[in-house]
Chain A
Amino acid sequence: MPIVLPGRRPAKRFQASKILGGKMAHGRKVVNADLNVVPMVDMMTMLVIFLLMQFSATGEILYMQKDIKLPDARHGQTIEVAPVVAISQAYIVVSGQKVADVAEVDKAEVFAIPGLEEKLRDEKKRWDFIHQNDPDREKNWKGDVNIQADQKVPFRILKRVMFTAGQAGYFNVNFAALDQSNVQAVAAR
């Protein structure tokens, strides 16, 4: 049984009724409650700062694929927009379109890869069309191509891809790797 202050108190059935003019009614709970939003605003601000630091204006140039596992590199540069040649252990894909089978490329007697060369020439034509009004078009052509290969792809495939890219006018090859420079900096601390 609860401990109550001595004094007048109504019977239980009158506690909630207004029969006594509400005099016996004890303090009602206030319906309006103030919610303290300061910690939430703090958390959201921290989250915004973290995400802004992660933000990349160039967006995602290379998409991680299940069948391509990239090696690590510590001294890489920021990746730039260029045609992407993805080499898994089964296929060679350019801009999301399959151009050759790795097994066929491995067996082929011709050094260049015709499907890849055609696709890269198309990409170069597209670049030329976009920059047709640029007087310094030839100077601005850097010939960059990003190669995103699985870490177990042998060099005999890579060299054919690189040769084909060179044939199509892409002589600056960028090997894609997972950036470990931040990991190294953290480990050094």
Chain B
Amino acid sequence: MGGASPAPESGGGRGTKKRPLDAVINVVPAIDLLACTISFLLFTAVWTQISRLQVQTAGSGGPAVAEEKKQIQVTVTVGERGLSLSTTAGTAVEIPALGKTPDGQPVQDLKALAEKLKQIKSEYPDQSSVTVAAEDGVLYADLVKVIDAAVGVGLASVSVTAAG
């Protein structure tokens, strides 16, 4: 003890060979594994992130949304002139379109709609349902944006119906 006996690695004794302290790790299997994993992940990768906006067809006979306290009926009508928001509590707001695209389609004021829906949500925190009524000429993109705005403020239970 006390340093009398030399460490086996350090040699020191007669006839003992010095072991090299440097060790070489064979990384080839690790590279093989990584290459295989990368190939698999590249083949199975999903590059386009697609999401869904769940809606119910109004009057389709599907499961009815449970009635909660302090709920009103909120209806957003999407048309060529713009958006129209009405509730059974007496609110009726017209949100005119911001303009028209070169195709002649209206540009809906979604920010104003989101603000109005946010107001309703703050007045009725239990409110979770909204009905979106669309005219025949409304494009899928506009419908999706209106539903997205409603879901964004917490009105997640969306029913879609035809206007008029």
Which residues from chain A sit less than 8 Å from chain B, CB to CB? Answer: 37, 40-41, 44-45, 47-48, 51-52, 54-56, 59-62, 64, 70-80, 87, 143, 146, 149-156, 158-159, 162-163, 165-166, 171-179, 181-182
9 A-B contact pairs sorted by A residue (CB < 8 Å): A56-B46, A74-B152, A150-B140, A153-B139, A156-B136, A159-B160, A173-B54, A177-B51, A179-B49
Main secondary structure on B side of the interface with A:
mixed
From 106 to 148 in chain B, residues with beta carbon under 8 angstroms from any chain A beta carbon are 134-141, 143-145, 147-148
Which chain A positions have C-beta within 8 A of B86?
A: none
* Cβ–Cβ < 8 Å partners of B55 in chain A: 173-175
CA distance A20 to B123 in the complex (A): 103
Cβ-closest 5 pairs across A and B: A76-B51, A171-B62, A51-B41, A151-B141, A166-B60
List residues of chain B with CB under 8 Å of any chain A CB: 27, 30-31, 34-35, 37-38, 41-42, 44-57, 60-63, 103, 134-141, 143-145, 147-148, 151-152, 160, 162
| B144 and A41 within 8 A (CB) | no
Q: Assuming the A-B contacts A51-B42, A55-B45, A155-B134, are A176 and B52 also in contact, with contact meaning beta carbons closer than 8 angstroms in the complex? A: yes
When the two chains form the complex, which single residue of B35, B49, B103 contacts A44, counting CB atoms closer than 8 Å? B35
